[in-house]
Protein backbone atom coordinates (compact mmCIF):
# COMPACT_ATOMS: atom_id res chain seq x y z
CA UNK A 1 0.00 0.00 0.00
CA UNK A 2 1.38 3.41 -0.92
CA UNK A 3 0.91 6.59 1.03
CA UNK A 4 -0.49 9.81 -0.44
CA UNK A 5 2.90 10.88 -1.81
CA UNK A 6 3.09 7.69 -3.90
CA UNK A 7 5.96 6.24 -1.84
CA UNK A 8 6.00 2.60 -0.75
CA UNK A 9 7.48 3.60 2.64
CA UNK A 10 5.15 2.43 5.39
CA UNK A 11 3.69 5.11 7.65
CA UNK A 12 4.95 5.05 11.23
CA UNK A 13 2.16 5.84 13.65
CA UNK A 14 2.78 8.89 15.87
CA UNK A 15 2.78 8.01 19.57
CA UNK A 16 0.19 9.85 21.67
CA UNK A 17 1.49 12.83 23.68
CA UNK A 18 2.36 12.04 27.29
CA UNK A 19 -0.31 12.87 29.81
CA UNK A 20 0.39 15.73 32.13
CA UNK A 21 0.65 14.74 35.79
CA UNK A 22 -2.39 15.49 37.92
CA UNK A 23 -2.23 18.80 39.81
CA UNK A 24 -0.90 18.67 43.32
CA UNK A 25 -3.40 19.03 46.10
CA UNK A 26 -2.97 20.19 49.63
CA UNK A 27 -2.42 17.21 51.89
CA UNK A 28 -5.50 16.52 53.96
CA UNK A 29 -5.26 16.40 57.69
CA UNK A 30 -6.17 13.31 59.61
CA UNK A 31 -8.89 15.06 61.61
CA UNK A 32 -11.88 16.50 59.82
CA UNK A 33 -13.14 20.01 60.41
CA UNK A 34 -16.49 18.84 61.84
CA UNK A 35 -14.66 16.80 64.46
CA UNK A 36 -12.44 19.76 65.37
CA UNK A 37 -15.50 21.97 65.75
CA UNK A 38 -17.12 19.33 67.93
CA UNK A 39 -14.02 19.22 70.13
CA UNK A 40 -14.11 23.02 70.46
CA UNK A 41 -17.77 22.85 71.42
CA UNK A 42 -16.98 20.23 74.06
CA UNK A 43 -14.16 22.39 75.46
CA UNK A 44 -16.45 25.42 75.73
CA UNK A 45 -19.33 23.42 77.23
CA UNK A 46 -17.07 21.59 79.69
CA UNK A 47 -15.43 24.78 80.96
CA UNK A 48 -18.77 26.58 81.31
CA UNK A 49 -20.19 23.66 83.29
CA UNK A 50 -17.15 23.50 85.56
CA UNK A 51 -17.04 27.26 86.17
CA UNK A 52 -20.73 28.01 86.67
CA UNK A 53 -22.29 24.89 88.16
CA UNK A 54 -21.79 25.97 91.77
CA UNK A 55 -22.23 29.74 91.38
CA UNK A 56 -25.33 30.92 93.29
CA UNK A 57 -27.90 32.49 90.99
CA UNK A 58 -29.08 34.88 93.70
CA UNK A 59 -25.73 36.69 93.66
CA UNK A 60 -25.87 36.92 89.87
CA UNK A 61 -29.28 38.57 90.15
CA UNK A 62 -27.88 41.02 92.69
CA UNK A 63 -25.15 42.11 90.25
CA UNK A 64 -27.69 42.41 87.44
CA UNK A 65 -29.94 44.55 89.66
CA UNK A 66 -27.01 46.88 90.40
CA UNK A 67 -26.18 47.33 86.71
CA UNK A 68 -25.20 50.92 85.79
CA UNK A 69 -25.85 51.81 82.12
CA UNK A 70 -23.76 55.00 81.95
CA UNK A 71 -20.36 53.24 81.65
CA UNK A 72 -21.83 50.93 79.00
CA UNK A 73 -22.57 53.92 76.75
CA UNK A 74 -18.89 54.88 76.92
CA UNK A 75 -17.90 51.29 76.12
CA UNK A 76 -20.01 51.26 72.95
CA UNK A 77 -18.45 54.54 71.79
CA UNK A 78 -14.97 53.14 72.43
CA UNK A 79 -15.80 49.99 70.47
CA UNK A 80 -16.81 52.09 67.47
CA UNK A 81 -13.63 54.15 67.77
CA UNK A 82 -11.58 50.95 68.01
CA UNK A 83 -13.12 49.64 64.79
CA UNK A 84 -12.36 52.96 63.12
CA UNK A 85 -8.76 52.80 64.36
CA UNK A 86 -8.40 49.24 63.10
CA UNK A 87 -9.79 50.24 59.70
CA UNK A 88 -7.32 53.11 59.50
CA UNK A 89 -4.42 50.77 60.36
CA UNK A 90 -5.63 48.37 57.67
CA UNK A 91 -5.77 51.21 55.15
CA UNK A 92 -2.17 52.22 55.97
CA UNK A 93 -1.00 48.67 55.30
CA UNK A 94 -2.86 48.46 52.01
CA UNK A 95 -1.54 51.83 50.84
CA UNK A 96 2.02 50.74 51.62
CA UNK A 97 1.40 47.91 49.15
CA UNK A 98 -0.09 50.19 46.51
CA UNK A 99 -3.75 49.29 47.15
CA UNK A 100 -6.20 52.17 47.56
CA UNK A 101 -9.43 51.38 49.42
CA UNK A 102 -11.73 54.00 51.00
CA UNK A 103 -11.83 54.07 54.80
CA UNK A 104 -15.62 53.69 54.78
CA UNK A 105 -15.29 50.44 52.81
CA UNK A 106 -12.74 49.05 55.26
CA UNK A 107 -14.86 50.14 58.24
CA UNK A 108 -17.89 48.30 56.85
CA UNK A 109 -15.79 45.23 56.06
CA UNK A 110 -14.43 45.20 59.62
CA UNK A 111 -17.92 45.38 61.13
CA UNK A 112 -19.20 42.59 58.90
CA UNK A 113 -16.15 40.50 59.84
CA UNK A 114 -17.03 40.81 63.54
CA UNK A 115 -20.55 39.67 62.67
CA UNK A 116 -19.17 36.61 60.86
CA UNK A 117 -17.26 35.66 64.00
CA UNK A 118 -20.57 34.97 65.75
CA UNK A 119 -21.34 32.04 63.45
CA UNK A 120 -17.89 30.58 62.84
CA UNK A 121 -15.80 28.50 65.24
CA UNK A 122 -13.03 31.08 65.57
CA UNK A 123 -12.16 34.70 64.78
CA UNK A 124 -10.38 33.50 61.64
CA UNK A 125 -13.77 33.49 59.94
CA UNK A 126 -14.03 37.27 60.21
CA UNK A 127 -10.51 37.65 58.85
CA UNK A 128 -11.37 35.36 55.95
CA UNK A 129 -14.33 37.57 55.07
CA UNK A 130 -12.14 40.68 55.16
CA UNK A 131 -9.58 39.03 52.86
CA UNK A 132 -12.32 37.99 50.43
CA UNK A 133 -14.08 41.35 50.51
CA UNK A 134 -11.03 43.50 49.80
CA UNK A 135 -9.55 40.99 47.34
CA UNK A 136 -12.79 41.18 45.35
CA UNK A 137 -12.79 44.98 45.55
CA UNK A 138 -9.15 45.50 44.58
CA UNK A 139 -8.37 42.32 42.57
CA UNK A 140 -5.23 42.00 44.74
CA UNK A 141 -5.69 38.78 46.67
CA UNK A 142 -2.15 38.44 48.04
CA UNK A 143 -2.05 42.07 49.15
CA UNK A 144 -5.42 41.70 50.86
CA UNK A 145 -4.28 38.54 52.66
CA UNK A 146 -0.95 40.11 53.71
CA UNK A 147 -2.64 43.26 55.04
CA UNK A 148 -5.09 41.31 57.20
CA UNK A 149 -2.27 39.08 58.48
CA UNK A 150 -0.09 42.09 59.28
CA UNK A 151 -3.04 43.76 60.99
CA UNK A 152 -3.51 40.69 63.18
CA UNK A 153 0.18 40.27 63.99
CA UNK A 154 0.65 43.94 64.90
CA UNK A 155 -2.29 43.66 67.30
CA UNK A 156 -0.86 40.54 68.91
CA UNK A 157 2.58 42.15 69.17
CA UNK A 158 1.13 45.14 71.03
CA UNK A 159 -0.93 42.78 73.17
CA UNK A 160 2.10 40.72 74.18
CA UNK A 161 4.20 43.82 74.90
CA UNK A 162 1.52 45.26 77.18
CA UNK A 163 1.03 41.89 78.87
CA UNK A 164 4.75 41.57 79.61
CA UNK A 165 5.14 45.13 80.91
CA UNK A 166 2.02 45.03 83.09
CA UNK A 167 2.36 41.43 84.28
CA UNK A 168 5.87 41.81 85.72
CA UNK A 169 4.90 43.98 88.75
CA UNK A 170 1.72 41.95 89.30
CA UNK A 171 3.70 38.68 89.18
CA UNK A 172 6.17 40.10 91.72
CA UNK A 173 3.34 41.29 93.95
CA UNK A 174 1.53 37.94 93.72
CA UNK A 175 4.83 36.03 93.95
CA UNK A 176 3.77 33.92 90.99
CA UNK A 177 6.23 33.78 88.08
CA UNK A 178 3.78 31.62 86.12
CA UNK A 179 1.90 34.81 85.18
CA UNK A 180 4.77 35.57 82.78
CA UNK A 181 4.71 32.21 81.02
CA UNK A 182 1.81 32.96 78.67
CA UNK A 183 3.09 36.30 77.30
CA UNK A 184 6.60 34.87 76.89
CA UNK A 185 5.30 31.91 74.88
CA UNK A 186 3.12 34.21 72.79
CA UNK A 187 6.07 36.54 72.16
CA UNK A 188 8.17 33.62 70.93
CA UNK A 189 5.38 32.50 68.57
CA UNK A 190 4.89 35.99 67.11
CA UNK A 191 8.62 36.55 66.59
CA UNK A 192 8.82 33.19 64.80
CA UNK A 193 5.87 34.13 62.57
CA UNK A 194 7.41 37.50 61.70
CA UNK A 195 10.75 35.89 60.81
CA UNK A 196 9.02 33.38 58.52
CA UNK A 197 7.03 36.17 56.84
CA UNK A 198 9.99 38.46 56.27
CA UNK A 199 12.63 35.92 55.20
CA UNK A 200 12.26 33.45 52.36
CA UNK A 201 14.53 30.72 53.75
CA UNK A 202 12.48 30.01 56.93
CA UNK A 203 9.23 30.20 54.97
CA UNK A 204 10.48 27.74 52.35
CA UNK A 205 11.73 25.40 55.09
CA UNK A 206 8.29 25.49 56.72
CA UNK A 207 6.63 24.72 53.38
CA UNK A 208 8.98 21.80 52.91
CA UNK A 209 8.32 20.39 56.37
CA UNK A 210 4.55 20.62 55.83
CA UNK A 211 4.85 19.21 52.27
CA UNK A 212 3.09 22.29 50.90
CA UNK A 213 6.02 23.15 48.63
CA UNK A 214 4.50 20.77 46.04
CA UNK A 215 1.37 22.94 45.76
CA UNK A 216 2.11 25.78 43.31
CA UNK A 217 -0.80 27.94 44.43
CA UNK A 218 0.32 27.83 48.05
CA UNK A 219 3.99 28.51 47.30
CA UNK A 220 3.01 31.35 44.96
CA UNK A 221 0.80 32.95 47.61
CA UNK A 222 3.54 32.64 50.24
CA UNK A 223 6.09 34.28 47.93
CA UNK A 224 3.73 37.18 47.20
CA UNK A 225 2.88 37.64 50.88
CA UNK A 226 6.59 37.75 51.75
CA UNK A 227 7.01 40.44 49.07
CA UNK A 228 4.26 42.46 50.78
CA UNK A 229 5.88 42.12 54.22
CA UNK A 230 9.24 43.17 52.82
CA UNK A 231 7.60 46.27 51.37
CA UNK A 232 6.24 47.07 54.84
CA UNK A 233 9.75 46.67 56.27
CA UNK A 234 11.19 49.15 53.80
CA UNK A 235 8.91 51.85 55.25
CA UNK A 236 9.74 52.34 58.96
CA UNK A 237 7.18 55.15 59.20
CA UNK A 238 4.43 52.72 58.22
CA UNK A 239 5.55 50.19 60.84
CA UNK A 240 5.71 52.91 63.51
CA UNK A 241 2.21 54.16 62.68
CA UNK A 242 0.54 50.76 62.69
CA UNK A 243 2.22 49.79 65.96
CA UNK A 244 1.17 53.08 67.57
CA UNK A 245 -2.43 52.43 66.50
CA UNK A 246 -2.19 48.84 67.76
CA UNK A 247 -1.07 50.01 71.21
CA UNK A 248 -3.88 52.59 71.41
CA UNK A 249 -6.36 49.89 70.43
CA UNK A 250 -5.20 47.46 73.12
CA UNK A 251 -5.17 50.15 75.79
CA UNK A 252 -8.73 51.04 74.80
CA UNK A 253 -9.77 47.39 75.26
CA UNK A 254 -8.35 47.47 78.80
CA UNK A 255 -10.33 50.63 79.53
CA UNK A 256 -13.48 49.00 78.13
CA UNK A 257 -13.17 46.03 80.50
CA UNK A 258 -12.58 48.41 83.42
CA UNK A 259 -15.77 50.26 82.47
CA UNK A 260 -17.69 46.97 82.23
CA UNK A 261 -16.58 46.23 85.78
CA UNK A 262 -17.90 49.63 86.81
CA UNK A 263 -21.26 48.71 85.25
CA UNK A 264 -21.45 45.82 87.74
CA UNK A 265 -20.12 47.89 90.66
CA UNK A 266 -16.92 45.80 90.67
CA UNK A 267 -13.82 47.64 91.82
CA UNK A 268 -10.14 46.71 91.50
CA UNK A 269 -6.92 48.62 90.88
CA UNK A 270 -6.36 49.52 87.23
CA UNK A 271 -2.98 47.73 87.23
CA UNK A 272 -4.81 44.41 87.47
CA UNK A 273 -6.87 45.18 84.38
CA UNK A 274 -3.73 46.32 82.54
CA UNK A 275 -2.00 43.04 83.40
CA UNK A 276 -4.84 40.54 83.09
CA UNK A 277 -6.94 41.73 80.13
CA UNK A 278 -4.07 41.21 77.63
CA UNK A 279 -3.37 37.78 79.15
CA UNK A 280 -7.03 36.78 78.82
CA UNK A 281 -7.11 38.09 75.24
CA UNK A 282 -4.14 35.85 74.42
CA UNK A 283 -5.92 32.88 76.00
CA UNK A 284 -9.16 33.33 74.08
CA UNK A 285 -7.24 33.73 70.80
CA UNK A 286 -6.17 30.08 71.04
CA UNK A 287 -8.30 28.06 68.56
CA UNK A 288 -9.52 25.55 71.14
CA UNK A 289 -13.05 26.81 71.84
CA UNK A 290 -16.09 28.38 70.22
CA UNK A 291 -15.75 32.19 70.17
CA UNK A 292 -13.47 31.96 73.22
CA UNK A 293 -16.41 30.87 75.39
CA UNK A 294 -15.24 28.98 78.45
CA UNK A 295 -11.57 29.80 77.93
CA UNK A 296 -12.28 33.51 78.45
CA UNK A 297 -14.38 32.75 81.54
CA UNK A 298 -11.59 30.59 82.95
CA UNK A 299 -9.14 33.44 82.39
CA UNK A 300 -11.32 35.93 84.26
CA UNK A 301 -11.87 33.44 87.10
CA UNK A 302 -8.17 32.62 87.43
CA UNK A 303 -6.44 35.96 86.90
CA UNK A 304 -8.88 38.32 88.59
CA UNK A 305 -8.86 36.09 91.62
CA UNK A 306 -5.44 37.65 92.27
CA UNK A 307 -7.16 41.05 92.31
CA UNK A 308 -9.50 39.99 95.12
CA UNK A 309 -12.66 39.55 93.04
CA UNK A 310 -15.12 36.93 94.21
CA UNK A 311 -16.03 33.94 91.98
CA UNK A 312 -19.40 35.51 91.20
CA UNK A 313 -17.80 38.82 90.24
CA UNK A 314 -15.31 37.22 87.87
CA UNK A 315 -18.02 35.18 86.13
CA UNK A 316 -20.39 38.15 85.92
CA UNK A 317 -17.66 40.27 84.32
CA UNK A 318 -16.87 37.54 81.79
CA UNK A 319 -20.56 37.18 80.88
CA UNK A 320 -21.04 40.92 80.48
CA UNK A 321 -17.97 41.06 78.22
CA UNK A 322 -19.43 38.31 76.04
CA UNK A 323 -22.89 39.91 75.87
CA UNK A 324 -21.40 43.30 74.97
CA UNK A 325 -19.31 41.84 72.15
CA UNK A 326 -22.24 39.84 70.76
CA UNK A 327 -24.51 42.90 70.74
CA UNK A 328 -21.82 45.02 69.09
CA UNK A 329 -21.16 42.31 66.50
CA UNK A 330 -24.83 42.38 65.50
CA UNK A 331 -24.18 45.88 64.17
CA UNK A 332 -22.09 44.20 61.48
CA UNK A 333 -25.16 42.20 60.44
CA UNK A 334 -27.10 45.42 59.95
CA UNK A 335 -24.25 46.83 57.87
CA UNK A 336 -24.19 43.64 55.80
CA UNK A 337 -27.90 43.95 55.02
CA UNK A 338 -27.74 47.57 53.89
CA UNK A 339 -24.18 47.91 52.53
CA UNK A 340 -23.78 48.44 48.81
CA UNK A 341 -22.08 45.60 46.99
CA UNK A 342 -19.12 47.24 45.29
CA UNK A 343 -18.17 45.61 41.99
CA UNK A 344 -14.57 44.41 41.72
CA UNK A 345 -12.11 46.92 40.27
CA UNK A 346 -10.61 46.15 36.90
- Indicate whether 122 belongs to any domain: yes
- Full residue range of the structural domain in which residue 94 is found: 72-337
- Indicate whether 236 belongs to any domain: yes
Number of domains in the chain: 1
- What's residue 127's pLDDT? 87
Cα separation, 222 vs 84, whole angstroms: 29
- Indicate whether 288 belongs to any domain: yes
- Indicate whether 61 belongs to any domain: no
For the chain, what is the largest distance between any 2 Cα atoms, rounded to a whole number of angstroms? 107
- Indicate whether 148 belongs to any domain: yes
Other residues' Cβ atoms within 10 Å of the Cβ of residue 164: 18
Q: Which residues contact 71 (CB under 8 A, 6 or more apart)?
A: 259, 260, 262, 263
Instruction: Please write the tens of the pLDDT for every residue from 27-51.
Output: 444 456 678 778 888 988 898 898 8
- Indicate whether 306 belongs to any domain: yes
Residue 4 banded pLDDT, cuts 50, 70, 90: very low
Instruction: Please write the tens of the pLDDT for every residue from 64-99.
Output: 788 888 999 999 999 999 999 999 999 999 999 889
- Indicate whether 149 belongs to any domain: yes
Residue 5 banded pLDDT, cuts 50, 70, 90: very low
Burial string for 126-148 (b: 16+ CB within 10 Å, else e) reads: bbbbbbbbbbebbebebbbbbbb
- Indicate whether 203 belongs to any domain: yes
How far from each other are the two terminal CA atoms of the chain, in whole angstroms? 60
- Of 244, 266, 237, nearest to 95 by C-alpha is 237
Cα separation, 119 vs 112, whole angstroms: 12
pTM exceeding 0.85: no
Cα separation, 240 vs 226, whole angstroms: 19
Amino acid sequence: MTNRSGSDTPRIPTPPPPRSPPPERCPKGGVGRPLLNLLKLLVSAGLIWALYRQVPLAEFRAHAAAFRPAPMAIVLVLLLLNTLLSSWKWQILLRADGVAVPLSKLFASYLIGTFCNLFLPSSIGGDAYRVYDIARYSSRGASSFASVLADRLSGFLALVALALVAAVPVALRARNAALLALPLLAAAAIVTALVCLSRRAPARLLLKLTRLERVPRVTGLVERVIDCFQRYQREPAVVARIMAIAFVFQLSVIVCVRLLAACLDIHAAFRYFAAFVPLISLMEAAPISIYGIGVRDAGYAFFFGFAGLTPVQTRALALLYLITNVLYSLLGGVVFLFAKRNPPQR
